Chain A
Amino acid sequence: MKKFIFLLFLFKCNFLFCSEKIDISFEYPDIKGDFYVAGTVFFPPSSILSSDNIAVMDTATKKEVPSRITVSEKWPDSSILSAEIIFPANTGKKTAYAIFYGKEIKRGKIFSEPAVLPTVAFFTGSTGRTAENIDVSVGQINVRVDKSISIRYWWYVLPLMVLIFFTVCRSLTISRRYKSE
């Protein structure tokens, strides 16, 4: 019994401390009931080879949440680069979630997304510790594309300079004529 408890403790430790953890956050929508939480997570190279090594966990209850994980990109060494993760949540049960990944993780609960429910995007605070990538949440970014040819309006400098030159010349000429006479 003690051995069993010890093994269970080790398993928990593995799950908690020998795997990598990514905290995720999202805003609960203004609805009542179930909804889906979806997003893309990036992983460091050579960390995991299979989507079964990724699991979503409720950090409050320490229980795994059913999830569907689709690998979208892979590193050159065939380890997972990014994966799309979707899991259900409920507005009546507000809690925090985290993604655990590693060779020691074995995803147990899978769901097939039968219902059509509202979906909310989640954000990650950071990826695993790596020098290759860093996720930084910067909020909304507005991109303005200037399609005009860069020289297009600069042509106006020429007539502008000519006009100013003629104005100054005429002004000086008139002033000199008035003073000399």
Chain B
Amino acid sequence: MNKISISRRIVQVISLILLVYGGYIFKEWKQSGETQQQSIFPSLKAPAGSISTTKFEKGSILWPSGATPVIENYPPTLVCRFNPKGGMFKACILHFFSENLTWRTQIKYLLPYVTLFVLLCFLFGRAWCGWVCPIGTTGDFLTFLRRKMNIPVKRFPANFRMNLSFTGYALMVVALVISTLIGMPNLARYQCYWFLPYCQICPARLICPMFGLIKPNWKDFSTGITTAFTILAWIVLGFFIAAFYWGRRVWCHMCPVGLINSWFNKGCGIELHKKAVKCIKCGYCADICPMGLTKMYEIDKDAIYNQTGCIMCMRCVEVCPREGCLNVRFFGKKVNIKSLIRRKTDAQKVSQQIQ
């Protein structure tokens, strides 16, 4: 493995431990930190008498299976409120919007959280997906298993990836619209069924508890709506598992949180530069990209090739045989990453990595 990949794996493992097991590790600090939290970030709670809170009763589809988190905040990655023992952070940003649209929280109380989210995205773009997301780490592990089982990777056409992104956007919009509608007084009685609609089908809700050996709530057949959500959740989970055996990071094309992060990719601090004069059009960068992007191969001029779907894994930079052809900068300042691959001697290693 190469330097960037090793670094990324280390960061992924540490992030997984912190995000999922933060509640175990920082138990005492959590208790003392709660009062400090409120002065910077206001505490967001369901309105008194809200039906939405009944969704979290034991046995219901959204039973969290965990305790309160260490930090009641919403980073731009698919962390989950269904982590065992609460985890490090409360939940993902989609959960944040969905919950507060239903609760009709005043905008001023949401501003600190939104500002922090935008700041993190402005700094790192979609690098959260490539380096931190625990679901992405799970998927990479499944990809590793696939390689070991010698199952060949499937390369999807561009329109298939676009369809997945469209599906992800559709799920996000529908979830937010439903969350807004059930927040209205006339429709509040439906909150017990439709609260956090995306969380009810998200694969993280079923995967994260298993990290703490806690049985997630696999099914809820109490009503027609909960039955429908249960079946949808199984379908999405099945697709998630199958997708990582099929290709690389297929789920990331569809993940709504990743799609939100991708809005910041082109303007974020991380810049991927190409020096076209050094490019020999070997095509390694396009072949190794887990998201199937090819812009860095196609452009023939010196340019920043940040793309919306890019998860900033920097494998293209790592695998490029020409030193200085592709490089990473952070707000214009070059990050010194040397490629360890020479085109003539290690072409075989590169082809193995493409798998």
Q: Are A167 and B112 in contact (CB under 8 A)?
A: no
Interface presence of A6 (CB below 8 A): no
A150 and B306 alpha carbons, distance in the complex (Å): 40
User: Which chain A residues in 150-171 approach chain B with CB under 8 Å?
Assistant: 150, 152-154, 156-157, 159-160, 163-164, 166-171
Q: Are B264 and A167 in contact (CB under 8 A)?
A: yes
Q: Are A178 and B304 in contact (CB under 8 A)?
A: yes
Query: Which one, A150, A157, A177, contacts B304 given CB within 8 A?
Result: A177
In the complex formed, the residue of B with least CB distance to A146 is B106
Q: Are A175 and B111 in contact (CB under 8 A)?
A: no
Interface presence of B48 (CB below 8 A): yes
User: Which chain A residues in 118-158 approach chain B with CB under 8 Å?
Assistant: 142, 144, 148, 150, 152-154, 156-157
Query: Which one, B108, B111, B115, B266, contacts A174 given CB within 8 A?
Result: B266
Q: Are B115 and A160 in contact (CB under 8 A)?
A: yes
In the complex, identify which listed stretch (B92-100, B173-181, B225-233, B295-303) lies at the interface while the others stay far away.
B295-303
CB contact under 8 A between A153 and B108, given known A163-B115, A170-B267: yes
CB contact under 8 A between A181 and B302, given known A171-B266, A171-B267: yes
Query: Which one, A144, A154, A164, A181, contacts B108 given CB within 8 A?
Result: A154
Q: Are B266 and A170 in contact (CB under 8 A)?
A: yes
A152 and B121 alpha carbons, distance in the complex (Å): 24
Count CB-based A-B contacts (< 8 Å): 61
Interface presence of B114 (CB below 8 A): yes
A157 and B112 alpha carbons, distance in the complex (Å): 9
Q: How large is the interface on A (under 10, 10 to 19, 20 to 34, 35 or more residues)?
A: 20 to 34
Q: Are B267 and A167 in contact (CB under 8 A)?
A: yes
Nearest Cβ in chain B — how far from A158, in angstroms? Answer: 9
Q: Are A154 and B303 in contact (CB under 8 A)?
A: no
CB neighbours of A181 from chain B (8 A): 301-303
Query: Which one, A144, A156, A159, A174, contacts B267 given CB within 8 A?
Result: A174
CB neighbours of B268 from chain A (8 A): 167, 170
User: Which chain B residues in 267-317 approach chain A with CB under 8 Å?
Assistant: 267-268, 271, 299, 301-306
Nearest Cβ in chain B — how far from A169, in angstroms? Answer: 7
Contact mask for chain B residues 106-147; partner A; CB cutoff 8 A; 1 contact, 0 none: 001101101100110110000000000000000000000000
Q: Are A177 and B303 in contact (CB under 8 A)?
A: yes
Q: Are A163 and B302 in contact (CB under 8 A)?
A: no
User: Which chain B residues in 15-47 approach chain A with CB under 8 Å?
Assistant: 42
Q: Are A166 and B267 in contact (CB under 8 A)?
A: yes
CB neighbours of B112 from chain A (8 A): 153, 156
A151 and B112 alpha carbons, distance in the complex (Å): 13
In the complex formed, the residue of A with least CB distance to B42 is A153
Q: Are B42 and A148 in contact (CB under 8 A)?
A: yes
Query: Which one, B119, B271, B301, contacts A163 given CB within 8 A?
Result: B119
CB contact under 8 A between A178 and B122, given known A154-B111, A167-B268, A171-B266: no
CB neighbours of A171 from chain B (8 A): 266-267
Query: Which of B48, B108, B267, B299 has most A Cβ within 10 Å?
Result: B267
Q: Are B267 and A169 in contact (CB under 8 A)?
A: yes
Q: Which 10 A-B pairs have the closest CB atoms?
A: A171-B267, A167-B267, A181-B301, A156-B111, A170-B267, A171-B266, A153-B108, A156-B115, A160-B115, A163-B118
Please list 9 pairs of residues, one from A and one from B, whose beta carbons are closer than 8 Å in the complex, sorted by A's number: A153-B111, A156-B111, A156-B112, A157-B111, A163-B118, A167-B264, A177-B303, A178-B303, A181-B303
A-B contact sample (8 more), CB < 8 A, given A153-B112, A163-B118: A160-B118, A170-B266, A171-B267, A174-B306, A178-B301, A178-B305, A181-B301, A181-B302
